[in-house]
Amino acid sequence: MASFRIRQYRDQDFEAVRALFARGILEHAPAGFRHLLRSARVRLALLAVFVAARAGAGSWVLGLGTVALALVLLWVLVRSLSADYVRDALATDLCDVPGTYLRAPDSCFWVAEAGGAVVGMVAAVPAGRGELELKRMSVSREQRGRGLARALCREVLGFARARGYSAVVLSTSMVQVAAQRLYEGQGFRKVGTSHPSLLGAVLNFQIFHYRCDLGDAAK
């Protein structure tokens, strides 16, 4: 198994980091769509759409076609949540990584490198109240299962301890189950939930908020 190393971000990592982040976020859209389809409220709404279209058009085919169109619309809405999040990140902090994470006090941005390529990333910024926030965690699909995410998480925890922070906080989406397991295995506990937007609230798409008190973190 090839080795990897974690190092601080360099200017030449710019395009690789942005592409890695975008791919990592957008690949969760199908899981979000499946979550939506498991919702009883959504299933009832689709049934109502079918019944109304069937009654109005007098055709089973048109009723099913209307449901298919509704499913396409739901997929577009779900993917737009991910796409909007990516666009916002690429236009803000990931547009100027050195300015956001390397020049600011108690902030940093790391990449995991394997075979000369950037295959993972994570950032840390102060969150106030003696807390440090873990942000922008992503590992390429091909490199998962090798411990990169765990190593990146521990890099942030060690960075926070070295600077005297009492806790590390983070946010992740409800469909990122593997990430939730990773964080919980490193001592994080869920402390709250929120919706990323009004559309997210309508679709019942939640963001989970985690906190790791550094005395409780896995060593």
Q: Tens of pLDDT along 122-153?
A: 999 999 889 999 999 999 998 888 899 999 99
Overall residue count recorded for the chain in this entry: 219
What is the pLDDT at residue 219?
Answer: 46
Residue 120 has pLDDT above 60, yes or no: yes
Q: What percent of the chain has pLDDT over 70?
A: 95
Do residues 200 and 81 lie in contact, with contact meaning Cβ atoms separated by under 8 Å?
yes
Average pLDDT, whole number, for the chain? 89
Chain segment 2-23, per-residue pLDDT in tens: 588 999 999 999 999 999 999 9
Model-level pTM?
0.84
Q: What percent of the chain has pLDDT over 90?
A: 54
Total domains, the chain: 1
**What is the average pLDDT across 181-201?**
87
CATH number of the domain bearing residue 141: 3.40.630.30
Q: What's phi and psi for 209, nearest 5 deg? A: -110, 130
Range of the domain at 214: 1-218
**CA distance linking residue 107 with residue 17, whole number of Å:** 17
Chain segment 147-179, per-residue pLDDT in tens: 999 999 999 999 999 999 999 999 998 888 889
